[in-house]
Chain A
Amino acid sequence: MNEFVETLLDLHWHEPKSSYDVVIVGGGGHGLATAYYLATRHGITNVAVVEANYIGSGNSGRNTTIIRANYGIPESIRFYQHSMDLYKTLEDDTGCWIMHNTKGLIWLAHTESAMRSERARCQLNTAMGTETIMVDPAEIKQLCPQIDLTGSGRYPVLGASHHVGASTARHDRVVWAYAQGAMRLGVHVLQNTPVTGLLMDGDRVTGVKTATGNISAGVVMSAVGGDVTQFAAHAGVRLPIRTHPLQAFVTNGYAQGFGPIISDTELLSYVSQTARGQMLIGAEYDRQQSFSRQSSFDFLQSCATKVSYLLPFLKNLRIMRQWTGRCDVSSDFSPVMGFTPAPGFVITTGWGTWGFKAIPAGGEAMAELIATDTTPEIIEPFSLNRFATDHSMADQGSTGTR
């Protein structure tokens, strides 16, 4: 976080203590939201969030900020709908402007089979109380006049599902809002402090190791994003996670007035407009797992080509920036939250390419889990032990475009 931003926020930096009730490793959205809800909902403030770099330096400051709940299985729809509801009141709750903006998301179909998938999505969403409706090409044109319904003659648009409540919010403002809210109540946030190992007493995790000393803790929570496999290994915990890079890019400014978020399964990409007017474009994660944050020209070329079929005006814009995050993608494309086989060690991971929208509900649930030492019902389906009990939460709807 830069010095100018710091002057705008009410942040209180602290020297680390040698012991806390709760130590949260990773100052991304999930770690900080958990600290915030521990303090605000449960009065637990003897908490440290330990961040290797600066807060929001991981995926929480690199994502394309789409907040939606139009998932493919009931357990996910319910969880993400709750997160969407928490986002709606987050500005009032924290007193911070996170630039939350409801835009609606149009998920395009170019084939009969894609139409069937979108109809099924609408049915399931509606049954779960999430507003997703089918729209025909004329309605799509009204919602997004810039679209070429013939897909440049190559990808004709047959229809779409319209997820009416989908929104975006400024990602780093979300991180700062939670950090500020937690710090005001006495939570310590320690930046530039990589955790290098865990303190163990037999199987039990009793604290963390850092270059400046050990910190003991009643509970340690891992919220380290793409580095989770290596981190959990310190506690002997094995995870169903692969780390895949995900890339995105923005163009220069375009006249304000690109209303909705456009998503496309066949072209595996999605487009929205930022508050500054830049067109923000993302796609699927790189097919091979890796820890590299190298952005590639191949991605840029293939993604730009695809989105230009649908939105030909993009051809006249320039690409300003491109970047990459390292995503913790789970075996079944659903999050992994809760207790682990190691006592004293809880985890929030499997956020892959879809965890920004989940920050409020994920943080709220993990705070409750830590405070009450029981798994809240809403995240029960996402426990790590689901794989052992044959209840994987396979959800192809969870990645950005799938």
Chain B
Amino acid sequence: MLWVTCPRCGHRPIDEFKFGGEIPDVPASITDDAARDLDRVWMFNNVDGVTTERWFHEGGCRRWMTLKRDTHLDRVIED
């Protein structure tokens, strides 16, 4: 079981959280406005490594938080 440290509730099992997905990060190489919108809405970086993502503490404070996770091993990175 993954554990997450919520800044408000402390060390909690990941079952209490809802996955909000990676924070969209449109590559600078895409310059056209419409293409940037398309990428932000539909495309994913789907990084095989460390990502920055949003999680919602549904079974706790019911607030959003930002988390770093290594998707290669599925480990939360605490800093």
Contacts and interface: CB of A to CB of B under 8 A. Distances in A.
Q: Do A and B come from one complex?
A: yes
Interface stretch (A31-39, A177-185, A282-290, A355-363): A282-290
A116 interface: no
A238 B27 CA distance: 10
Contact of A242 (B15, B46, B72): B46
Q: Which 10 residue pairs across A and B have the least CB separation, nearest first?
A: A229-B46, A290-B74, A292-B74, A387-B42, A290-B71, A240-B42, A287-B19, A238-B43, A288-B19, A291-B48
A387 B35 CA distance: 11
Contacts of B15: 298
B9 interface: no
A388 B69 contact: no
Nearest to A392: B42
A331 B41 CA distance: 9
A91 B69 CA distance: 45
A230 interface: yes
A289 B42 contact: no
Q: Is the interface of A mostly helix, strand, loop or mixed?
A: loop
Interface of B: 1-2, 14-15, 18-19, 21-22, 27, 30, 38-39, 41-46, 48, 53, 69, 71-74
Interface residues of A, number: 25
A331 B18 CA distance: 17
Nearest to A238: B43
B24 to A, nearest CB: 12
A392 B42 CA distance: 10
B74 A331 contact: no
A296 B74 CA distance: 11
A294 interface: yes
A241 B21 CA distance: 12
A239 interface: yes
Nearest to A229: B46
Given A292-B73, A298-B1, A241 B19 contact: no
A334 interface: no
Contacts of A290: 69, 71-74
A196 to B, nearest CB: 15
B46 A243 contact: yes
Contacts of B73: 290, 292, 294
A240 B42 CA distance: 5
